[in-house]
Structure 1
Amino acid sequence: MNFKPLITAKLIILIMLSAFISSCSNAPQKPALDPANMDMTINPGDDFYRFVNNGWLENNPLPDDYSRYGAFEQLNEENEQKLYDLLMAIRSDKSAAHGSNRQKIRDFYNSAMDTASIEEQGITPLQPILDRIEAIDSKEKLQTVIAELHQTGIRPLFGMGASQDRKNTDWMIASVGQGGLGMSDRDYYLKDDARSKEIREGYKNFIAHMFSLAGYEDTEAKKAVEAIMQIETSLAEVSMDRLTLRNPYATYHIMTLDELSDKSPNFNWASYFNSRNVSIEDLNVAQPEFFKAVSDLMNSVELEKWKTYLKWNVLNSSASFLSSDFDKANFAFYGTVMTGSEVQRERWKRVLGVLNGSLSEAVGQEYVALYFPPEAKERMIDLVEHLRTAFHQRIGNLDWMSAETKEEAYGKLAAMNVKIGYPDKWIDYSDLEIKDQPYILNVLAARAFNIKRNLDEIGQQVDRDKWFMSPQTVNAYYSATMNEIVFPAAILQPPFFYLHADDAMNYGAIGMVIGHEMTHGFDDQGRQFAKDGNLRDWWTEEDSRRFDELSQVLVNQYNNYVMLDSLTINGKLSLGENIADLGGLSIAYQALQNKLEEDGRPEEIDGFTPEQRFFLSYAQVWRNHMREQRLRQQLNEGPHSPGEARVNGIVYNMEEFYKAFNLDDSGERFIAPDDRANIW
């Protein structure tokens, strides 16, 4: 009886929102290239990054609620406003049936924004979990509770999930890997430099404060700090460093369940997997020595310390979803100490980030229906194929690669799958219950749902339609085991993608991003995977030697790129991204030349040639401010170079850049031809 009015109400909301979006789309569009953002007093041969971006940097100071702010963040803010408008429409939709995606989105968001209830609840919603930990009276029960926590996305000690078998990528297997650290890198526990000590002390204070908020006396909180630092430092000592983690062979060790049990006998792995409803035959043990150490720690660490460590994992992973005292303490360490952020972002923006992670495709399905024009996908397909053709040409012109390896490279490039915009199949959220309950409980429910979906893939054939980013994410990625490049709808907006701008602007921005992701299939990591995604060496020994030799030029350049005082970029840790930047820009330039040859050469725009606009477009994508703490963190953890270095570290290696701006060897950043990096 009520079915027709419900449909009508929903349609009215959609029509009103569509009208609002249409009115926004008719507003004056920002120019693809704004000369006000540039600084013509700077010689492009001295500092191309500031030549292109100095005006923008001066007119757009770093906001207090950001540790980094640039083109990505600006686009993300615009995208957040679109999502906010969408959320407000969904909240007003009284027709959303119970169990529908809209009801779940609405109730999740409402629970997060009900700060009065969250303040009143405090830590109470977590009490059953904390009581469960307190009741542990044996190492056997300890391990059972670890499995239970893992089911809700709380990850003490290690992580476990489904992943492709790297040497048989048609199938999903279980994989276990190192984890259990509260700080973002093992080195913060182990190094004695001033910054590491500062972060370590900040972390200890954070732990003590959190336990104080949870009702612990000062002496108890101090004991908690000691127990947690003992366990986490022990884990850090046996964790692989970030550079080793870049080697896909170093983290691939197929074992049977019995072999893992022999390696790590003091942890009951059969019981663990049974608790997680997973049937195991073979699995990948990413770091065998780490799990040997976990076994040893099970014996050597007292039960009470383990209980404290588990409680810490619960508090730490939940803090930002609890009352403001916990939330502020969490920000004070992870925001201020680690990255230098001065104030938190508005609550609705933070909640939106959590919602996007928890109900990613439920939100994404609504997003693309309103904000992603079909013409954008059509133009992207054309761009991708022009980039693929250009990459094929450049492979053919390589003088360092053998004919045998070139044929394999052609095959991998041709087989590379492309996904644009959004998935063909959406996630079914029917089994996820989101309701009017404390925010943290909705978060844990969503985590458990997404984890179960992942674990259900173990032993199954790979779903090649699956996406690993939501459509509303401003980013892109390459998957080596899938051999695919993926461009979510949200990145297909200025300054990355211009539906109606000239080709030069698009090829310099999103074209370079396409080339960048393609090149990841051939960087120092991606090149180790064949066209079917399997981990296999398809290079001749001589080709590998030459590739490493050419890559070392980039390593050396970035090792000597000073970013802060005497701090330089880690050329080895950032090598994959730097190869992809240089390769992506070179391929995109080739593709633009092919396009100009096809369509004819246009007139200059704003006094700039197509080649100049290409490089200008590239450079403006990477403009950003960064706080010193965030910069130090990025230099320490990688793998991306800071924005300035992604411009200046790349363009001065390209002869096409010098020609475009008629530059000679007098520029401060001039690199002699024999010293330039040139791989793809």
Structure 2
Amino acid sequence: MADNREAGPSTDEAIVQEPLTPLTKVLLVVALIFLLLSSVFIGLFAGAQHKLNSGRGGGGGDLSSTQLACLSPECIILSSSILSSLDTSQDPCENFYEYANGGWLKSHPIPSDKGAFGNFEALAQENRRVLQQILSSESSYSSTSYDQQILKKLREFYNSCMDESKLAELGTEPLASVTSRVRRLLKSETTVVDTTVKEKHSNKNGLTAAIAYLHSRGIDGLFSVDIEGDVGADPNFMTFWFSQPELGLPSKEYYDEESIVELYQSVLQRLVLTLADEEELLGVRSELPPTALTVPEERLRVWPPWPWPPWGGDDDDGGDDDETEPMTPAKASKLAWKIIDLEKAIANASLDLDILYQDPIATYNPAPLEDLTTALPEIKFPEYFAAFTPRNFPSNVILTSTTYPSSLSAILNATTSETLEAYLVTRAGLALAPLLSLETEAWKAVRNLQEVLQGLKKGAVGDRAEFCTTQVEQAMGFATGRYFVNETFAGDSKEKGTKIIKDIVQTFKKSLSHIEWMDKKSAAAAGEKADAIRIKVGYPVSPDTLDPRSIAIYYTRVNIHEGTFFDNILSASANDEYLKWQKLGKQRDPEAWEMFPSTVNAYFNPPANEIVFPAGILQPPFFSRDWPGYMSYGSFGQVASHELTHAFDSAGRLYNQQGKLEQWWTNATSEGFQKRQDCIVKQYSEYTIDDGKGGKIHVNVRATSTSGENIGDTGIIQAYRAWKAQYDTGFESGTEYLLPGLNYTREQLFFISFARAWARNMRTQSAVARVRTDPHSPNQYRVDGTLFNVPEFAEAFQCSPKSKLNPPQEKRCLFW
């Protein structure tokens, strides 16, 4: 067939004949340079690959030296982040924390408005950015009416916080409305303790109503309450727990520091003065009408009780107060010192933190309600319970301290009404002043205290959007969590995270038969407990993160008022307390969570025998579904193994597989464990931090206060073994690929991945506060102290027998 197309040059000829433009020439040169660099890189990498796979490099099995590294943009970025975090001038066998994190620490200074900044804080900040975009956008994320309702509530909450001009206009008025209500309730005649005693040091009328009001808004004072399982009888039966309160200062030790106490006194004085002045200006100081607090029987006739709260809304001003002596600076100063004396007495009557945190037997003291009411008659507990509208009042309670109720009674009867009123008012001030406008005296006073205790730069204030996002997350975290999960936890992230956890559980079970201090009977029981542990990953189903109706119902009682940020916070707090009290006398909800989906943390709950891992921590630098196995097991694996090990640490081992307090180990096994616990207490007691005054503070302020967490950290060996156990399968499936430019074995990268998670810069003041209040050790010891007890680490880095992190075997505290 004839070809009728017009004859012309071929395509190749056209290209050859076409002259090159200057841009084309530049691009050709760039391409040639790129090809040359790629050839050099591949050649260098091939040599490194041969070294990695020729002995030290393999994670297991006889590996092929022809396996290539991942060269995707994601792998290059991950490799770059690892390289930039290192400080190779350090000896990994002497100071692995600095070796793995020195580069990161130098390039991530602490923001001026924060006391510490590390990978946990960086990830939390990144998670808040995701939430902030959701809160500040107009997108619906879903067409359901429930989602529209939830998002409207969340965004109005966020916008009310961002409206700084409205906050400035309101000034201290929102806080003054709370404190004036406290005063009126305290002076009311609805809760008379003993009408025959008229001496001014006797108990104060209305104390029950006043403390119930504060507690209903999440403000601690005098004592604290939790609704948790009865671990001695039925861990799933939710019971009333009575315990000591938080203090105005972070811990007992601060009340012995003269400079801190003087600062605290000045802050309390400023709060007392400014709130008295504001209340007087507003004209809201008045006695509560006798009808404002109904009797319990009437309150319980309708279920669910409504309206809420039973003493009126937060905007109820009440009537006029009798004339009182005006507050003066001199009087406020005296009251501030009396508040401190009261708090010191409460601190002295409280348990030390090592007992509170680490001794579940000493803190489990079941008793009839009558015992509590007899020991502490100043609080009318039936009326206190009625304020929270539980369906059933408890007939039995659990005391964390058998002596605290009677000690508190003595303290109250030695405290004047005026001092007690000032204490309750300043409890509200310390809790709520940070929510006011930055221009208010109350905000400035409390901020001054925070700056000194945390070492913050004076006057430095963080990003308002980040602050407001945090407030919304804390107030309605299951609602924000729904949209966070949609944005960040897609695909098979849940499945891959769960696999790592289950691999570690199985590895732990296999190791039980090889633990020389654990006999066969105890090992079998430990295996049963490991099998019984409930694993929760990503997000809850109660309320159901994937069901907007469930979320909407959960937050039904949160009434959001546009432009009234303070009221929104109080409404959310009241909702939390209401829901907490609805658990009383019921069986535990097995699907409930104690953390929000966006939280960068995880936990083990002994009574529920569950380990929980929110989607918030299943993000880089802890987890990615696309990471190689040695990275995932080294980073997220340590989180999983830590929480699992808590089930068998100094406190967790005292709970059986049903979450009940019981001696389920043999005496011989318990004795063997105790020897190793004594070993780890001794090891960490030798670690210190600077106190900022030229001295040192030992990590274990109290000998056993951190032992449970340190034992939890020893679980990293289970993550390492779990990674090794699955290595061959992972290698065959391509999940053990190497990263470009890293001249490290997979074993070494496992431990580097472990250590990187703990990178954190911390101001001296914040570090001191942490040692005094936090059962976790400082991060450098969570790395080096842990690896001191892991022979596999010393082997991976070929450490000399004389190096710090390769001690003689007999000096190691080997649990597992």
Instruction: Give the equivalent residue in structure 2 for 1:408.
Output: 525
Relative distance call for 1:126 and 1:49 in structure 2 (3 A) is: closer
Aligned residue pairs, count: 649
Report what 2:449 is aligned to. Answer: 333
CA contact (8 A) 1:163 1:172 kept: yes
Distance 1:597 1:95 in 2: 46
Deviation (angstroms), 1:402: 0.9
- Please list, as runs of the form range in 1=range in 2, the aligned pairs for 1:242-257 lying within 5 A after superposition: 242-245=353-356, 246-257=358-369
Q: CA separation in 1, counterparts of 2:331 and 2:566?
A: 26
Larger Rg, first or second structure (1 or 2): 2
| Higher deviation after alignment, 29-38 or 324-333 | 29-38
For 2:66, the equivalent position in structure 1 comes to none
Query: Partner amino acid for 1:174?
Result: F
Equivalent residue letter for 1:473:
T
Letter of the 2:173 counterpart = T
1:9-88 equivalences in 2 (<5 Å)? 30-31=77-78, 34-88=82-136
Per-residue deviation, 1:97: 6.7
Name the structure where helix makes up a greater proportion of residues.
1
The alignment status of 1:589 with 2:695, answered yes or no, reads no
Farther-moved stretch of structure 1 (268-277 vs 200-209): 268-277
- 1:568 and 2:698 correspond: yes
Shift of residue 667, structure 1, vs aligned partner = 1.9
> What pairs up with 1:51-450 in 2 under 5 angstroms?
51-90=99-138, 100-135=149-184, 136-137=186-187, 139-167=204-232, 168-179=234-245, 181-189=247-255, 191=256, 196-214=257-275, 215=277, 216-245=327-356, 246-278=358-390, 279-324=393-438, 325=440, 326-334=442-450, 336-342=451-457, 343-426=460-543, 427=551, 428-450=554-576
Match of 2:592 in 1: 466
Amino acid at match of 1:316: L
Letter in 2 for 1:440: F
Q: Which residue of 2 aligns with 1:9?
A: none
Report the Cα offset of residue 429 of structure 1: 1.4
8 Å Cα contact 2:794-2:805 kept in structure 1 = no
**2:634, 2:246 → 1: CA distance?**
41
Give the % identical residues: 30
TM-score by length of 1: 0.91
Return the alpha-carbon distance in structure 2 between the equivalents of residues 224 and 160 of structure 1: 27
Offset at residue 60 of structure 1 (A)? 2.1
Task: Please report how far the alpha carbon of residue 155 of structure 1 lies from its aligned counterpart in structure 2 after TM superposition.
Answer: 2.2
Distance (whole Å) between structure 1 residues aligned to residue 592 and residue 698 of structure 2 = 38
- From the superposition, tell whether residues 183 and 533 of structure 1 become closer, same or farther in structure 2 (CA, over 3 Å): same
Residues 230 and 456 of structure 1, relative CA distance in 2, 3 Å threshold: same
Residue identity in the other structure for 1:331 = R
Q: Equivalent residue of 2:240, what SS?
A: strand
List aligned pairs for 1:440-519, cutoff 5 A.
440-519=566-645
Partner Cα distance (1:364, 1:597) in 2? 37
Distance in structure 1 (CA, Å) of the matches to 2:577 and 2:138? 26
The aligned amino acid for 2:352 is D
Which segment drifts farther, 113-122 or 556-565?
556-565
Q: Verify the 8 A CA contact 1:476 1:491 in the aligned structure 2.
A: yes
The answer to whether the Cα contact below 8 Å between 2:266 and 2:333 also exists between their aligned partners in 1 is no
Preserved CA contact (<8 Å) 2:519 2:669: yes
CA offset at residue 531 of structure 1? 0.6
8 A Cα contact 1:90 1:102, kept in partner: no
Q: TM-score, normalised by structure 2?
A: 0.77
Deviation, structure 1 residue 366: 1.4
Q: Distance in 1 between matches of 2:556 and 2:382?
A: 30
Q: Which moved more, 1:47-56 or 1:612-621?
A: 47-56
Shift of 1:425: 2.9
The question of whether the paired residues in 2 share the 8 Å contact of 1:422 and 1:488 is answered with yes
Distance 1:666 1:43 in 2: 13
SS of 1:288's partner is coil
Q: 1:130 to 1:596 in 2, by over 3 A?
A: closer
Q: Distance in 2 between matches of 1:132 and 1:87?
A: 32
Q: 1:617 offset after TM fit, Å? A: 0.3
- Distance (whole Å) between structure 1 residues aligned to residue 397 and residue 383 of structure 2: 15
Name 1:10's counterpart in structure 2: none
How far does the alpha carbon of each residue in 1:469-494 deviate from its partner, in whole angstroms, 9 at most, with x for none? 00011111111111111111111111
Give the stretch that moved more between structures: 383-392 or 82-91: 82-91
Unpaired stretches in structure 1, ≥5 consecutive residues: 1-24
Residue deviations 1:606-655, cap 9 Å, x none?
22211111001001111111101011111222211111111111112211
Partner of 1:672: 808
Q: Deviations over 1:500-533 (max 9, x none)?
A: 1210001110011100100000010111111111
1:309 and 1:209 map into 2 onto residues whose CA distance is 13
> Aligned partners of 1:443 and 1:96: how far apart in 2?
26
1:105 Cα deviation after fit: 0.5
**Residues 118, 26 of structure 1: CA spacing in aligned structure 2 closer, same or farther, 3 A cutoff?**
farther
Q: What is the rounded CA distance, in whole Å, between the counterparts of 2:730 and 2:479 in structure 1?
A: 41
C-alpha separation in 1, matches of 2:768 and 2:796: 34
Structure 2 alignment gaps of length 5 or more: 1-71, 190-203, 278-326, 544-550
Deviation at 1:77, TM superposition (A): 1.9
Q: Which runs of 4+ in 1 moved over 6 A?
A: 25-29, 91-99
Confirm whether residue 545 of structure 1 aligns to residue 659 of structure 2.
no
How far apart, in 2, do the equivalents of 1:655 and 1:212 lie? Answer: 60
Retained in 1: the 8 A contact 2:787–2:805? no
* Contact map agreement 1:498 1:505 (CA 8 A) in 2: no
1:523-542 aligned at under 5 Å gives the runs 523-542=649-668
Query: CA separation in 2, counterparts of 1:512 and 1:239?
Result: 34
Q: Distance in 1 between matches of 2:730 and 2:786?
A: 28
Contact 2:237–2:586 under 8 Å retained in 1 = yes
Could you tell me how far 1:125 is from its partner in structure 2?
Answer: 2.2
- Give the letter aligned to residue 259 of structure 2: E
Please, which moves more after superposition, 498-507 or 264-273?
264-273
Q: Per-residue deviation at 1:242?
A: 0.3
Contact in 2 for aligned 1:483/1:531 (Cα 8 Å):
yes
Distance verdict in 2 for CA 1:667–1:406, change over 3 Å: same
Question: C-alpha deviations, 1:133-166, integer Å up to 9, x for none?
Answer: 3334362312222112211222221112311111
CA distance in 2, matches of 1:282, 1:398: 41
Contact 2:235 2:660 in 1 (8 A): yes
Question: Structure 1 residues 128, 379: CA separation in 2 closer, same or farther (over 3 Å shift)?
Answer: same
Distance in 1 (alpha carbons) for counterparts of 2:386 and 2:245: 21
- Equivalent position SS for 1:315: helix
Structure 1 residue 603: Cα displacement? 6.7
RMSD between aligned residues: 2.2
Distance in 2 (alpha carbons) for counterparts of 1:656 and 1:247: 32
How far is the alpha carbon of 1:421 from its aligned partner? Answer: 0.5
The answer on whether the counterparts of 1:180 and 1:232 sit within 8 Å (CA) in structure 2 is: no
Residues 287 and 378 of structure 1: is their aligned pair in 2 closer, same or farther, counting only changes over 3 Å? same
Q: Which amino acid aligns with 1:578?
A: N
In the alignment, the residues of structure 1 paired with residue 145 and residue 496 of structure 2 have an alpha-carbon distance, to the nearest angstrom, of 37
Q: State whether residues 120 and 757 of structure 2, in contact with CA within 8 Å, keep that contact through their aligned partners in structure 1.
A: yes
